[in-house]
Structure 1
Amino acid sequence: MVKKLVLLMIGIMMAALFAGCGNDAPKEQAGKKIQVVTSFNAMAEFAKAIGGDKVEVSTIIPDGVEPHDFELKPENMKQLATAQVFVYNGFGMEPWAQQAIDAAKNSKLITVVATDGVEAIKNTDPEEIKEHGAEDPHAWLSLKNAKIEVKNIKDAFVKADPANKDYYEKNYNEYVAKLDAMIKKYEDQFAKAPHKNFVTGHAAFAYLCRDFGLEQNSVEDVFAEGEPNAAQLAELIKYCKENNITTIFAEEMASPEVSKTLASEVGAKVETIYTIESNEDNKTYLERMDENLTKIAASLQ
């Protein structure tokens, strides 16, 4: 009799315990944020803009590391093993991405190639194509491409968290409206510019140029590799003089010293420009793009 009573009591306690777990589980799930891993800063910026307080974003490539030179580490696979969404740019920017996805063995991971749907600008240098692939990867430095990239990210968040679809749609629409306003602002400014040429540290701005009918020349190639030899520097000096270049743009991770040398040779000033590959000056993507475009527009006067 005592034995039956003990078993009955245990049964009641276990039932209460499971009932309690059942009541708590939905609350815990409802409050959970989507775990999002991004490859580098621009992708993190887009993910945070669309995901807001519904996502927790981490980034694989540390600030200050040139993405073209990054090598995958074991801890990066651990990040992806527990993530729900992985956002990377594509176009050869992260040649390690598929290796990381395979190694993570996360069957529930939703993968976003942010450049899906972007019209690629093709590399023309055989050595660049051999080492890095056929596409210029810097698609995020175009406001028009950014609209495509954030849509791909929004669609992934809706898939991962359909209960909050309206929230992600609202954030997406508001962000695209800001991108459209900036596009309109600078289309008007560049249309009135007396010339369309600028010179920068490395050739990262081809998509930006396509947006606004501009032309870039650069100290380094698309992948920020190799400083110009004496003959190439002489050509750049000639180009600057012929095109009335008064500003040489430099990036922190792409030969700023060569940019300064070129500027002194042609009597130009040096201005910093953002590539948005790392977190820079704690500014958002929109703030940095606005600053980039303001500086480029001023240099064309």
Structure 2
Amino acid sequence: MLKRWAALLLCVIALISFSACSNNNSQADKPEESKLKVTVTFNAIKEFVEAVGQDKVEISTIIPDGTEPHDFEPKAQDLVGLSTAKVFVYNGLGMETWVNDALKAANNASLITVEASKGAEAITNTEPEEIEEHGQYDPHIWLSLKGAEMEVKNIKDALVEADPANKDYYEKNCTDYISQLENLYNEYNEKFQPIQKKSFVTGHAAFAYLCRDFGLEQNSVEDVFAEGEPSAQQLTELVEYCKENKVTTVFAEEMASPDVSQTLANEVGAKVDTIYTIESNEDDLTYLDRMTDNLSKIYDSLLQ
């Protein structure tokens, strides 16, 4: 492991040097307005930074769209932005297990690092294998509107620390975005409360925080970290669960066993519909668009 990260560090330094030369040439030709350089780990975090920073920030994302974040291990080229950034924002709660090693490799002494989920009331994993490999917490807090509010506030604090001259700008944007999150939460909290049916089935167990927001219950084809397909016994139990809870829709995500979701749906006479985990840029929709779509589909499925 030590040799691996030493090699990674050398690669990062070489790439930074090349990048610096290119940037110098570019700036000589055409000077640009200085923006606060922020590196983030994946799409949902990027959107939160965009909401607060807007035109004051320049964002680079480490985990490419279409990549399963739970399985991601950074290469040297993925860390170039981190080495020159002023702010680094990651989700935490075990989502990015490689962060500490990446920070050492980047060797950016002036970097302001923020764990966006800091202060959250985390949901604890129960499977021993998950805890051993990924840690004790479910990391999917961004799929909770209340969790998103906390992450946005932590991001705002980091941007203010890095760029205090624009404090009022960041605080206003933060307040405005949280107001939108609150409005969406209030709308669906009112809708979900009177419904008797509370259970839905997803491709992987990413929606525990969303369930906590609204008093719902999820069951899933794959575990919290989208690993492995269910055994024959687990699939049988899922079939029984769907029948007992009158599940009419099995939700699937692009990177979490859509084929098994379809098999399960066929067994119980349900339909398959998509749901967003917001780990990648999907369908060119914003975070709020995708959360609205998720909540609408879950709500409609519970009415059937």
TM over 0.5: yes
* Letter aligned with residue 275 of structure 2: I
Q: Name the structure 1 match of 2:109.
A: 107
Structure 1 pair 157–29 and aligned structure 2 pair: CA distance change class (3 A): farther
**Tell me, what secondary structure is at the counterpart of 2:148?**
helix
Q: Name the structure 2 match of 1:128.
A: 130
* Letter aligned with residue 44 of structure 1: K
Q: Name the structure 2 match of 1:214.
A: 216
Tell me, yes or no, if structure 1 residue 79 matches structure 2 residue 88.
no
Q: Name the structure 2 match of 1:203.
A: 205
Partner residue of 2:46 out of 44, 47, 51: 44
Tell me, yes or no, if structure 1 residue 67 matches structure 2 residue 76.
no
* Letter aligned with residue 92 of structure 1: G
Q: Name the structure 2 match of 1:194.
A: 196
The CA deviation at 1:53 is 0.2
- Number of residue pairs aligned between Structure 1 and Structure 2: 274
* Letter aligned with residue 282 of structure 1: D
How far apart, in 1, do the equivalents of 2:238 and 2:106 lie? 46
* Letter aligned with residue 211 of structure 2: C
Q: Contact between 1:44 and 1:59, CA under 8 Å: does it hold in 2?
A: yes
Partner residue of 2:162 out of 156, 160, 163: 160
The CA deviation at 1:183 is 0.7
Q: Name the structure 2 match of 1:14.
A: none
The CA deviation at 1:30 is 10
How far apart, in 2, do the equivalents of 1:194 and 1:270 lie? 22
Q: Contact between 2:62 and 2:79, CA under 8 Å: does it hold in 1?
A: no
How far apart, in 2, do the equivalents of 1:68 and 1:295 lie? 25
1:27-57 deviation per Cα after TM superposition (whole angstroms, max 9, x unaligned): x999310001000001001000100000011
Q: Name the structure 1 match of 2:254.
A: 252
Which stretch of structure 1 is more off in the superposition, 121-130 or 72-81? 72-81
How far apart, in 2, do the equivalents of 1:76 and 1:202 lie? 27
Tell me, yes or no, if structure 1 residue 119 matches structure 2 residue 121.
yes
Q: Name the structure 2 match of 1:285.
A: 287
The CA deviation at 1:262 is 0.4
Q: Name the structure 1 match of 2:92.
A: 90
The normalised TM-score by structure 1 is 0.89
Partner residue of 1:31 out of 17, 26, 33: 33
Q: Contact between 2:63 and 2:78, CA under 8 Å: does it hold in 1?
A: no
Q: Identity across aligned pairs (percent)?
A: 66
The CA deviation at 1:76 is 2.6
* Letter aligned with residue 211 of structure 1: D
1:55-83 deviation per Cα after TM superposition (whole angstroms, max 9, x unaligned): 01110000110001101111233211110
* Letter aligned with residue 297 of structure 1: Y
How far apart, in 2, do the equivalents of 1:239 and 1:152 lie? 38
Rg comparison, structure with higher value: 1
Q: Give the ranges of 4+ consecutive aligned residues of structure 1 lying more than 4 Å apart after TM superposition.
A: none
Q: Contact between 1:81 and 1:106, CA under 8 Å: does it hold in 2?
A: yes
| Structure 2: gaps (5+ residues) | 1-29
| Structure 1: gaps (5+ residues) | 1-27
Q: Name the structure 2 match of 1:294.
A: 296
Tell me, yes or no, if structure 1 residue 142 matches structure 2 residue 140.
no
How far apart, in 2, do the equivalents of 1:253 and 1:77 lie? 24
How far apart, in 1, do the equivalents of 2:32 and 2:52 lie? 19
Q: Contact between 1:76 and 1:100, CA under 8 Å: does it hold in 2?
A: no
